[in-house]
A and B are shown apart, each in its own frame.
Chain A
Amino acid sequence: MSPELVSLLQLTLNGLATGAIYALVALGLVITYKATEVLNFAYGDVLMASAFVAWGLIVGLELPFWIAALLTVAFAAVLGWQIDARVMRRIVGQPHFAGVMLTIAIAFMVRGLVSMLFGPESRSYPTPWTQQSTHLGPVVVSDLSLVILASAMAMTVLLYLFLRRTALGVSIQAASQNQLAAYLSGIRVKRVTSLVWALAGAAAGLCGLLLAPIALVDISLWIVVLKALAALVLGGFGSIPGAILGGLLLGLIEQFAGVYLPDGSKDVAAYVVLIVTLVLWPRGLLGEAHGRRV
């Protein structure tokens, strides 16, 4: 193969690897959005907090990786459940803006607490895949990226099956479409909603766990949520396959923008994509059609 083609392939693969992260983060965001129409700005901070918890368990308490991983995901799920049950539930029925503000408030509190508890230093911890890579023909990809890509795919499939094929999943859909009607048909709406938040929390925990070895355990880890928003918008807001597609595409766009466009465009590519998509094509790639109703 010619060297140009190899470097092109390597770029594509790197892009997909970054994109898988965005996809995974976007998935967690889209669950809460679909079920409760709250855009969860606290997601990035739950993610960041779980990375710190994972660090505490793996480096601080020297637990084996898998046990620490389970505990971290469980921690994030409980945190998600509590955020809904104690806080978010109180503002049901208020406009979107209230939800945005309240999740930002929670985000600030989580960020403040983590920064007070752990301090500003960055850290890292080992995973079973650290420093390992797989050779696919002439190109190299790190194992961690493969794991992230696989988890994103697995999560999509599981979520899809869960929402479509199980009674609980269908009741989540029902509660998201019409809460009052869901109440009347015997769905425990509050519990179902909290469950969704717990699911999203678990997703955030998983993201934090897998992302931290790549990007260091740091307060600024939450910023990935902004990139994930761009991925969501590109894929079509509120669509689970769209989150995956948008994430992967955004990763590719960033990689290629970094190589072929002027210096600095890699940093802003995601935001340009977000604005352009929303303004020219608000539906995104796989979004549902939405019209106006008086």
Chain B
Amino acid sequence: MRFDYDTSYRDGKRLLRYPSQKWTYAGLLLLLVAVPWLLPKYYVGELTYLFILSIASMGLMVLSGYTGQVSLGHSAFVAVGAYAHAWFLTQGLPFLPSILLATGVSALVGLALGLPAIRVSGLYLAMVTLAFAILIEHVLGRWKSVTGGFNGMPVNDPVLFGMDLSGLKPFYFLCLTCLVIVLLLLVNLTRGKTGRAFVGVRDSEAAAASLGIWVAGTKVLAFVVSAAVTGFAGALLAHHVRHITPEGFNLLLSLELVLMVKLGGLGSLRGAIMGAFLIGLVPPFISQIKPLLGDRIAQQFGLEIFFFGLILAVFVLFEPKGLNGRWLKLKAFFQTFPLYRKDVFKRGKSYMKSERYR
């Protein structure tokens, strides 16, 4: 068991407090840098995809996990980011301005949704965002002059400072760099004043307001930040899939994103990344075990969605705090080793409380 003992004000502000943390993260980073030379090509591609998913998942985590605003429609922002980026590229913009502009467009769409949507909360917000995602999918399908309609549009290769980044390894490093940058930005955002305002709004709007937090503004800001990050991930995703269609950003993607933040554990960026890895690994895992099953079942699309449901149900029922919660418990178990008590994280008996009047 470790006790915090600060000897200067800077100690409390440090991102990595202990030497062990520094070594672990440095080791992790080294491992990730070495991966393209260690693993077969297929896995490098998968890992790249998982990095992109992690960024999108962190975007939703800011909104759902930290600010408590449920969104069932984040595929809309992924789609907006992807399409905006692809369009800017066809207009001849270089990679970097294009992806930043796409992020900005996505943020603007987030603002456009956030401004009216903060009037409702909880279930109602979930429904508004759900409807919004369906709307965006239809708009993308109909707006043929820009998006190419339901046939989709091709995405130009990413070129940065004269280097073609579309190859397997360069794109892997591009996504890894983006993930690290976004993670650092969000870690600092969430532990700063803004992030604490987010958490305050999530836990009690009345209390937050009475502490001088501008609740409406904070919620809209959370929407904008979340939309921007998710749109950024969408722009990277566009390069990954190379040809984007409206069907690629359907309701299932929204639900997968929600699954990631829920399974990862609401209110932690580490959880968002863990959740993205868990959900992102289900389809490859299924295709691995398919040969073991009968022909009739193996050919169905249903197996994948069944697994999603099963994993989600197991987590909601047995580990509501998600992977991050499990991680913290494991850590507590080892840190306090012989003294760990199961009851530390135990929940009491509960009755249904009405949320109708919130």
A106 at the interface (CB under 8 A from B): yes
By the criterion CB–CB under 8 Å, are A101 and B262 in contact?
A: yes
B99 at the interface (CB under 8 A from A): no
A10 at the interface (CB under 8 A from B): no
A135 at the interface (CB under 8 A from B): no
A-B contact pairs, 5 of them (CB 8 A): A94-B350, A115-B302, A120-B300, A233-B127, A237-B124
By the criterion CB–CB under 8 Å, are B301 and A120 in contact?
A: yes
* Among candidates A104, A267, A274, residue contacting B138 with C-beta atoms closer than 8 Å: A267
Return chain A residues, CB-CB under 8 Å to B126: 39, 100
Interface residues of chain B: helix, strand, loop or mixed (majority):
helix
Give the A-B contact count at a CB cut-off of 8 A. Answer: 151
Contact with A along B111-125 (1 / 0, CB 8 A): 000001101101110
Return chain B residues, CB-CB under 8 Å to A177: 354
B342 at the interface (CB under 8 A from A): no
Complex Cα distance, B124 from A36, in Å, reads 16
Q: Sorted from nearest, which 3 A-B pairs have the closest CB atoms?
A: A112-B306, A93-B350, A108-B309
By the criterion CB–CB under 8 Å, are B352 and A37 in contact?
A: yes
A63 at the interface (CB under 8 A from B): no
Return chain B residues, CB-CB under 8 Å to A264: 138, 142
Complex Cα distance, B312 from A111, in Å, reads 14
Complex Cα distance, B313 from A91, in Å, reads 11
* Among candidates A37, A109, A180, A237, residue contacting B351 with C-beta atoms closer than 8 Å: A180
CB distance from B312 to the nearest CB of A (A): 4
A67 at the interface (CB under 8 A from B): no
Q: Which of A70-78, A210-218, A286-294 is the interface stretch? A: A286-294
Known contacts A105-B312, A271-B134, A275-B135: A87-B302 contact under CB 8 Å: no
Known contacts A96-B122, A278-B120: A104-B312 contact under CB 8 Å: yes
* Among candidates A101, A114, A115, residue contacting B316 with C-beta atoms closer than 8 Å: A101
Complex Cα distance, B135 from A93, in Å, reads 33
Known contacts A93-B353, A104-B255: A293-B120 contact under CB 8 Å: no
B258 at the interface (CB under 8 A from A): yes
By the criterion CB–CB under 8 Å, are A100 and B312 in contact?
A: no
Known contacts A87-B313, A96-B122: A271-B131 contact under CB 8 Å: yes
List B residues at the A interface (Cβ < 8 Å). 70, 116-117, 119-120, 122-124, 126-128, 130-132, 134-135, 138, 142, 206, 255, 258, 262, 266, 296-297, 300-310, 312-313, 316-317, 320, 350-358
Complex Cα distance, B300 from A114, in Å, reads 10
CB distance from A26 to the nearest CB of B (A): 13
Return chain A residues, CB-CB under 8 Å to B307: 112
A282 at the interface (CB under 8 A from B): yes
A136 at the interface (CB under 8 A from B): no
Q: Sort chain A's interface into a size bin.
A: 35 or more
Return chain B residues, CB-CB under 8 Å to A237: 124
Complex Cα distance, B130 from A275, in Å, reads 9
Complex Cα distance, B123 from A238, in Å, reads 12
* Among candidates A106, A112, A290, A292, residue contacting B302 with C-beta atoms closer than 8 Å: A112
By the criterion CB–CB under 8 Å, are A37 and B134 in contact?
A: no
Return chain B residues, CB-CB under 8 Å to A102: 312-313, 316-317
A119 at the interface (CB under 8 A from B): yes
CB distance from B272 to the nearest CB of A (A): 16
Complex Cα distance, B123 from A112, in Å, reads 25
Q: Which residue of A lies closest to B349 (CB)?
A: A93
Q: Which residue of B lies closest to A93 (CB)?
A: B350
Kindly identify, within residues 87 to 128 of chain A, every residue whose CB is under 8 Å from any CB belonging to chain B: 87, 90-98, 100-102, 104-116, 119-120
Known contacts A101-B312, A108-B306, A109-B306: A94-B135 contact under CB 8 Å: no
By the criterion CB–CB under 8 Å, are B357 and A291 in contact?
A: yes
A167 at the interface (CB under 8 A from B): no
Known contacts A96-B355, A278-B124: A112-B138 contact under CB 8 Å: no
Complex Cα distance, B351 from A282, in Å, reads 27
Complex Cα distance, B135 from A45, in Å, reads 22
A141 at the interface (CB under 8 A from B): no
Complex Cα distance, B70 from A252, in Å, reads 31
Complex Cα distance, B322 from A33, in Å, reads 26
Complex Cα distance, B117 from A238, in Å, reads 20
* Among candidates A101, A104, A180, A275, residue contacting B132 with C-beta atoms closer than 8 Å: A275
Return chain A residues, CB-CB under 8 Å to B134: 226, 268, 271
Q: Which residue of B lies closest to A42 (CB)?
A: B309
Return chain B residues, CB-CB under 8 Å to A100: 70, 123, 126
Known contacts A275-B128, A291-B357: A268-B305 contact under CB 8 Å: no
By the criterion CB–CB under 8 Å, are B351 and A116 in contact?
A: no
By the criterion CB–CB under 8 Å, are B128 and A90 in contact?
A: no
